[in-house]
Structure 1
Amino acid sequence: MTDVAVVGASGYIGGELLRLLLGHPRVRLSAATSTRYAGRRLDSVHPNLRDQTDLTFSEPERLADHDVVFLAASRTAAMALVPRLLDRAKCLVDLSPDFRLRDPDTYADHYGTPHTAPELLDRFVPGLPESHRTDLASADAVSVPGCMATAAILALRPLVPLAAPGALVTVDGRIGSSGSGVGATQVNLHAERSGVMRLFAPAGHRHEAEITQTTGLAVRMSATGVEAVRGAQVVCRVPLARPCREAELRRRYLDCYRDEPFVRVVAQRRGLYRLPEPKILTGSNFCDVGFAVDDRTGAVVAVAALDNLVKGGAGNAVQCLNIRMGWPESTGLGFAGLHPI
């Protein structure tokens, strides 16, 4: 059994990591850290884990050596923790934003603070199996991308060769309240959030840099908070170098994702769920991608949906673990989602 630990295990992403790792047949979860809840049982914070484990939260400073450590810390906190954690594990999987971007100046531009460990940036492999599977197989440090960045990258990937040179791609993201994390401020109280569609990033969302880094496309992104608790959806508009018929686009998407265990092409003419919808992906590690053609302009509207806490976070991290260990990628990730919900 592979020995694993979760640092920063009391948040929503940390809780999803615990849920998935406790159900994983090839790992032993032996530590979960939290400064605030040290000494308390995991299920006192994550009630869905009742009767699943007797483990208690431990202090981060007492973390021993493990085969794999998952880090679910907040932005900037990870920069301070990573140098020490790299010595505590054979493989470190970081779910914070701090090591996603290769260029420290780009990080400073998008996050408003200097990167304090720029010498470690090149050590991290992007935790996106669909584009970095080969590198993940031997990685000792993995940086899992953001939830809406993952959705946008997977939506856009088949279109990169078709995009008009120098074209500006727009990405409109929508996300549920869990995307704000457990430390959300007054703006995310139920009384303030319920019933609203809050455009919290009308321009310049931080995921722009991640999407551009992976796809090479010039991207401008906005994001809106919606009524849902879980789920993220992106709608991307891509100007093409030449007109493409729907049949060609469908073939490109199917060819691109034919062998991917967690990406499904959803672009149907009939039915209740004709394009990707996050609601039916709740709890699953799937990302559904689809498209529509704007016949007036020749542009393509690419759509993707996922559970922001699973394929957009913890599930993607576990999928990377499976690749790193040489296990089948779907190990411990077989949940299909719920309908109706």
Structure 2
Amino acid sequence: MIKAGIIGATGYAGAELVRLLLQRDDCEIVGYGSKSFAGKKYCDIFRGVYKYTDDICENDDILELSKKADIIFTATPQGFLSENINEEVLLNSKVIDLSADFRIKDVKVYEKWYKIEHRAKDFIEKSVYGLPELYREQIKESRLIANPGCYPTCSILSLYPLLKHKLIDEKSIIIDAKSGTSGAGRNAKLDNIFCEVNENIKAYGIGNHRHTPEIEEQLGKVADTPVVISFTPHLIPMMRGILVTAYASFKKDIDWEDVNNVYEQEYGKEKFIRLLRKNENAEPRFVRGSNLVDIAYVIDKRTKRIIITAAIDNLIKGAAGQAIQNMNLMFGLEEECGLKNLPISI
């Protein structure tokens, strides 16, 4: 029985972790950390788990939680884990962090984009970027996982095969991404209330969205050269889901079958990546509620570009589901364990 603790259990990603873990017979949640709701029953905050748990939310003391948990998920704002991680915590428990604290290896880049000082620089090199499709073997051996962001997960996986096989010009990449409102978190913000979002779509973070360096760092590793992208996210009036449309120029003439062979070579055996058929495009509604990634590609001969569409559920493959996928690897379990939910398409 794996004993799991969740700090930030009352945010959207934390709530999805709770929902997914409560359905497993091999896992017990031993701590619901929530600074905002400490002392309250978890089922009074999220009534969907009424009769499934009567546990009370505790504070966010990660050291105390590590004394009773085999693994801790920190679904917290940037800065929390870097301020609270230490050797004793990692000696007691494995940690999967859903914030950006350990995703970016260059601490100066992290501090520039996130505008905070990193308080645990010595642990950055000890962490592993938790994208299983790229770093599966390293994840199995790690005690500290940096769970990727939702936009980076969808963006990196959509472009990885093309860069690995050097089919595209790494200087030509443009990523247009659209997310549901849950990606902004559960805290009240004027820009995210119903009347501001409904019947509207807007770009934000143009040229300076903080997921940009995370995407660039990972794509640069694949390409074995620095990669600079144009990344523009958009907020759209739906609760959950991400659609990435990525554009890149080919280095040489190529057809759909050639591209498909490359994607099949890299992802053909992956449990959570579905390569769509020719003339199909990815749509978030067909992955909603699942840990799946749908990827499709179109060759534009006129502009000598490829256009990739990719879709994920930002709260599952973009957060909680991927974290559990990482947990399964860390404990030597079947990677699909607890993640076999089919999408909720309607």
In the TM superposition, residue 211 of structure 1 has moved relative to its aligned partner by: 1.5
3-state SS, counterpart of residue 320 of structure 2: helix
Equivalent in 266, 269, 273 of residue 256 of structure 1 = 266
Q: Tell me which residue corresponds to 1:56.
A: 56
Segments of structure 1 that go 5 or more residues without pairing to the other structure are none
Q: CA deviation at 1:35?
A: 1.5
Partner residue, 1:293: 299
- Runs of 4 or more consecutive aligned structure 1 residues displaced over 6 Å after TM superposition: none
Q: CA deviation at 1:94?
A: 0.3
CA contact (8 A) 1:25 1:331 kept: no
One of 228, 234, 255 as aligned partner of 1:224: 234
Q: Compared with structure 1, are the counterparts of its residues 210 and 158 closer, same or farther at alpha carbon in structure 2 (3 Å cutoff)?
A: same
In 1, distance between residues paired with 2:88 and 2:253? 50
Residue 198 of structure 2 is aligned to residue 198 of structure 1: no
- After TM superposition, list the pairs within 5 Å mapping 1:77-88 onto structure 2: 77-83=80-86, 86-87=89-90
Ranges in structure 2 where 5+ consecutive residues have no aligned partner: 221-226
Q: Which whole-Å CA distance do the structure 2 matches of 1:64 and 1:286 have between them?
A: 30
Q: Which residue in 2 is equivalent to 1:302?
A: 308
CA displacement at 1:76 relative to structure 2: 1.8
Indicate how the Cα distance of structure 1 residues 133 and 87 shifts in structure 2: closer, same or farther if over 3 A, else same: closer
Q: Following TM superposition, by how much is the alpha carbon of 1:88 offset from its aligned partner in structure 2, in angstroms?
A: 6.6
**TM superposition shift of 1:83:** 2.9
Pairs aligned (count) = 336
2: distance between equivalents of 1:337 and 1:120?
A: 36
Task: Using the TM superposition, name which of 63-72 and 257-266 deviates more.
Answer: 63-72
For the 8 Å contact 2:66–2:72, the answer to whether it is kept is: no
Change (3 A) 1:84 1:17: farther
Identify which of 116, 121, 124 aligns with 2:124: 121
Q: Name the stretch that deviates more: 200-209 or 12-21.
A: 200-209
Aligned in 2, Cα 1:265/1:89: closer, same or farther, shift over 3 Å? farther
Structure 2 residue 191 is the aligned partner of structure 1 residue 181: no
Which one-letter code corresponds to 1:156 in the other structure? L
1:284 and 1:333 in contact (8 A); partners too: yes
For residue 64 of structure 1, report the CA deviation from its aligned partner.
4.7
Change (3 A) 1:194 1:84: farther
Q: 1:162 aligns with which of 166, 179, 185?
A: 166
CA separation of 1:142 and 1:40: change in aligned 2, threshold 3 A: same
Between 113-122 and 317-326, the greater mean CA deviation after superposition = 113-122
SS of equivalent residue, structure 1 residue 201: coil
Other structure's SS at 1:235 match:
strand
What's the offset of the Cα at 1:145?
0.6
Q: Which of 306-315 and 208-217 deviates more?
A: 208-217
User: Offset of 1:298 from its aligned partner?
Assistant: 1.4
Kindly indicate whether the alpha-carbon contact (under 8 Å) linking 1:264 and 1:288 is maintained by their aligned counterparts in 2: yes
Q: For the structure 1 residues 159 and 87, does the alpha-carbon distance in structure 2 shift closer, same or farther, using more than 3 Å as the test?
A: closer
Q: How does 1:101-112 map to 2 (within 5 A)?
A: 101-112=104-115
- Judged with a 3 Å threshold, the aligned counterparts in structure 2 of structure 1 residues 207 and 294 are, in CA distance, closer, same or farther, namely same
| 41-50 or 117-126, larger mean C-alpha shift | 41-50
In structure 2, distance between residues paired with 1:285 and 1:164: 28
CA shift, 1:63, in A, is 2.5
The residue type equivalent to 1:303 in the other structure is T
Same amino acid, percent of matched pairs: 28
Q: What is the CA-CA distance between 1:268 and the residue it aligns to?
A: 3.3
Alignment match, 1:4: 4
Is this contact kept in 2: 1:69–1:89, CA < 8 A?
Answer: no
Q: How far 1:295 moved relative to its partner?
A: 1.1
Change (3 A) 1:64 1:82: closer
Matching residue of 1:42? 42
After superposition, the CA RMSD in angstroms is 1.6
TM-score normalised according to structure 1 size: 0.94
Is residue 162–residue 242 contact of structure 1 (8 Å, CA) maintained in 2? no
Letter in 2 for 1:258: G
Distance 1:280 1:89, change over 3 A: farther
SS at match of 1:318: helix
Within 1, Cα distance between the matches of 2:170 and 2:73?
38
Deviation at 1:150, TM superposition (A): 0.1
CA distance, structure 2, for counterparts of residue 13 and residue 92 of structure 1:
15
Distance in 1, matches of 2:170 and 2:343, equals: 38
Q: Secondary structure at the match of 1:291?
A: strand
Residue aligning to 2:341: 335
> How many Å separate the matches in 1 of 2:109 and 2:66?
34
Whether the 8 Å CA contact 2:31–2:58 is kept in 1: the answer is yes
Given residue 123 of structure 1, which amino acid in structure 2 is its aligned partner? K
Q: Decide whether the 8 Å contact of 2:169 with 2:248 is kept in 1.
A: no
- SS of 2:231 mapped into structure 1: strand
Please list the CA deviations of residues 177-204 of structure 1 after superposition, one character each: whole Å capped at 9, or x if unmatched.
0001011411111111111101112223
CA distance in 2, matches of 1:85, 1:46: 32
The CA distance in 2 between the partners of 1:336 and 1:95, in whole Å, is: 23
Report the alpha carbon displacement of residue 166 of structure 1 after superposing the two structures with TM: 4.9
Q: Is residue 85–residue 92 contact of structure 1 (8 Å, CA) maintained in 2?
A: no
Cα distance, 1:330 vs. partner?
Answer: 0.4
